[in-house]
């Protein structure tokens, strides 16, 4: 096979990213926008020794799970991946993805529960980062096309809130013809969907008088916007936020509610993207933790303290560990704001902190870990198991690294008891997973 050649085949499976796998004489071809069971004529766009990529030229049959994408920009925008799948089929895909990771990576035969989805899987994002370009004085705001820096403009993004769409459209018009447009790199909008407070962050190369005028106009037009922040970033890389900031309006902070707790959110604070499913995710983590009010809990990678503070109401004491200093300060403020006195937070590397707690003779009943996409390192895993907790609850945003780590936990006397996927990001291939590991 060679590039631009046309082949015919039936989709038999999916990649982890949701691409269809079409076998042509047992040679795998990865194809966008094709579902299992569909037959199509495919033009090859890239051919390597072991696999190829292609695009559908003509679909010869349709799966019963195929739906027409509701977003008019879906085929161009790189934000969503699965809108051509029915939502039940998306959940099945995510359940199977987690199963495959545990079977193929961890070589563990574990039961994976069905992925927990949303009743209405739209308008769930509380954060949007929008690149801005200057087209001869016209403001171009949108999302990047897949694998490129070309911006796809849109009128309405269906996975973000109506308010975020309205703010984006307002800024698109407001920035047209302004001299400051060439200084603006990104717009970050955070909309706390439960409290309905919003923040706008203008990410710029340097300051300009226009930005204060824009900030004042934003809070005048949108009553939900409580603060506007100027973030300075003159670096030539893919990092969006710079280190230095200037608050133009408000306090630089908004608040979001999770059940009966309130959390402060700044421009740099990490908070789960989907607040509706966050409650589902954390409730499942606490169910696995089996707290009775008597337990010592260690929360590793605690961020701004969301899981730990959520758990503190059902535990004797919670110790949170986080390496980002600003996040630890946020966690302490969140505990104080919510009148929680049985939670402490340590600013430290996860492996070093758990090792220190171990040396201090602290033996928690439950350890909760919620690491970044890369998962846990060997030192942290050994420190967690060395504290000899009864249970470890692993919250993961990447089932591949989660499965890899669970295989190591198994060798250290902790058995995978339960695996629960949660759909935090409908219409994308991403999936969160909660795992209960029980000491053998």
Of 136, 205, 131, 144, nearest to 171 by C-alpha is: 131
Q: Tokens 């040679």 — which residue?
A: 27
Residue 193 CA to residue 61 CA, distance in Å, equals 40
**Phi and psi angles of residue 112, each rounded to the nearest 5 degrees, phi first:** -110, 125
Residues 6+ apart with CB under 8 A from 116: 277, 280, 284, 420, 421, 422, 423
Cα dihedral 320→326→330→332 (10° resolution): 50
For the chain, the helix, strand and coil percentages under 3-state DSSP, each to the nearest 5: 25, 35, 40
Of 193, 335, 169, 364, nearest to 264 by C-alpha is: 335
Q: Select which of 71, 397, 402, 406 is catalytic.
A: 397
Active site residue 397: yes
Pairing of strands 52-59, 39-47: antiparallel
Of 371, 311, 320, 369, nearest to 345 by C-alpha is: 320
Catalytically active residues, by annotation: 397
């Amino acid at each position: 096979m060679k590039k631009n050649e046309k082949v015919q085949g039936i989709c038999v499976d999916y990649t982890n990213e949701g691409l269809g796998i079409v076998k042509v004489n047992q040679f795998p071809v990865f194809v966008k926008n094709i579902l299992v069971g569909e037959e199509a004529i495919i033009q090859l766009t890239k051919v390597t020794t072991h696999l190829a990529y292609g695009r559908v030229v003509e679909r010869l049959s349709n799966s019963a799970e195929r739906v027409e994408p509701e977003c008019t920009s879906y085929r161009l925008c790189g934000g969503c991946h699965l809108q051509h799948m029915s939502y039940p089929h998306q959940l099945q895909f995510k359940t199977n993805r987690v199963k495959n990771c545990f079977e193929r990576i961890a070589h563990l035969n574990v039961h994976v529960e069905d992925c927990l989805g949303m009743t209405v899987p739209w308008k769930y994002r509380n954060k949007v980062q929008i690149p801005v370009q200057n087209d001869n004085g016209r403001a171009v705001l949108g999302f990047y096309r897949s694998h490129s820096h070309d911006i796809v403009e849109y009128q309405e993004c269906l996975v973000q809130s109506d308010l975020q769409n309205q703010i984006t459209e307002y800024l698109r018009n407001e920035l047209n013809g302004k001299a400051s447009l060439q200084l603006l790199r990104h717009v970050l909008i955070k909309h706390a969907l439960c409290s309905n407070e919003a923040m706008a962050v203008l990410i710029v190369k340097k300051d300009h008088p226009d930005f204060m005028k824009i900030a004042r106009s934003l809070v005048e037009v949108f009553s939900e916007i409580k603060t506007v922040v100027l973030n300075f970033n003159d670096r030539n890389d893919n990092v969006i936020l710079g280190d230095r900031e200037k608050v133009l309006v408000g306090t630089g902070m908004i608040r979001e509610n999770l059940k009966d707790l309130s959390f402060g959110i700044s421009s740099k604070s990490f908070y789960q993207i989907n607040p509706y499913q966050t409650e589902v995710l954390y409730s499942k983590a606490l169910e696995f933790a089996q707290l009775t009010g008597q337990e010592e809990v260690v929360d590793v990678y605690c961020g701004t303290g969301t899981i730990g503070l959520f758990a503190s109401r059902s535990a004797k004491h919670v110790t949170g560990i986080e390496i980002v200093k600003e996040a630890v300060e946020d966690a302490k403020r969140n505990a104080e704001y919510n009148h929680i006195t049985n939670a402490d937070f340590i600013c430290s590397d996860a492996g070093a902190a758990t090792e220190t707690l171990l040396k201090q003779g602290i033996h928690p009943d439950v350890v909760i870990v919620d690491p970044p996409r890369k998962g846990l390192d060997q030192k942290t895993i050994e420190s967690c198991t060395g504290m000899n907790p009864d249970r470890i609850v692993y919250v993961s945003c990447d089932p591949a690294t989660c499965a890899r780590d669970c295989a190591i936990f198994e060798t250290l006397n902790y058995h995978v008891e339960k695996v629960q996927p949660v759909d935090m990001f409908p219409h994308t291939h991403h999936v969160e997973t909660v795992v209960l590991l029980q000491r053998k």
